[in-house]
Amino acid sequence: MSNPEIAKNIRTGKFNTNYHELGQGEPVMFIHGSGPGVSAYANWRGSMPVLAEKFRVIAPDMVGFGYTDRPEGITYNMDVWVQQIIDLMDALGIEKTNLVGNSFGGGLAIALTIKYPQRFNKVVLMGAVGVYFDLTYGLDKAWGYNPSIENMKELLDIFAYDRSIVTDDLAKLRYEASIRPGFHESFSSMFPAPRQNGIDMMTSCEQDIKKIDKDVLIIHGREDKVIPVQNSIRLNQLILKSQLHIFGQCGHWTQIEHKDRFNNLLLNFFSEK
């Protein structure tokens, strides 16, 4: 049986990137979060086919995650991830794209927009890092995850507001994803204790965030225990052309817990002229 998480492969700088590509038209780049065993497919499987009805959807596994190469001796940091997206765009002949960033991917989307403003159109930030906050219990558990089904179940309980989606099958699936060869080794090297350093690494200067002159849609779950909703409120205050949508009865998984509404928000936002 083929693995849906493994898609296309392309050279980006010094390594190959595994990425999904669906649909045609104006490009939309999706950047996943940083949970254990995460991949672009796991993060965006409910959104990619819907957005692909109107747009060219691209969703890479960021280096250190999923099925992108894990180069020996690499140091995982913002410069590496920013460069990977730019290299991917160049390799695919994409001059300019819309951007969707989830959590870790939101912090990356902010950094990309600041450094390469000419390469991006509209931006969606979902449960994003990128501004300063104190390490939460939820994020500490996620970044400090040690592989076991029990730990994964506890983590999924933290991520989701709706406990009905945290099934034993899902926990088993995500646990198995987290122990694939190389997955945990690279993951545990990214955000070592003290984990506040990982947050600081992904934080952009507020003065630079203020200069973002893009239409930005900011989305957050009100009950998010991983990334505080105050992050998105702060981003909304800083970014002049931003709008903020907060879902009640929602944790860190907006795109899963409110899938249809989330997808419609993106479709409407990217379709506006």
What residues act catalytically? Answer: 103, 224, 252
Asked if 266 and 100 touch (Cβ cutoff 8 Å), the reply is yes
The residues with which 216 forms a beta bridge, in sequence order, are: 123, 242
- What is the Cα–Cα distance from 116 to 204, expressed in whole angstroms? 14
Task: Tell me which residue of 106, 100, 104 sits closest to 122, measured CA to CA.
Answer: 100
Q: Give the tokens for residue 133.
A: 């906050």
Strand order in the sheet with 15-22: 8-12, 15-22, 56-60, 27-31, 97-102, 120-126, 216-221, 242-247
Task: Tell me which residue of 197, 32, 23, 196 sits closest to 108, measured CA to CA.
Answer: 32
- What is the Cα–Cα distance from 273 to 271, expressed in whole angstroms? 6
Establish whether the linkage from the previous residue to 4 is cis, with ω within 30° of 0. Answer: no
Number of C-alpha atoms within 13 angstroms, CB side, residue 246?
13
Task: Tell me which residue of 111, 86, 108, 110 sits closest to 97, measured CA to CA.
Answer: 86
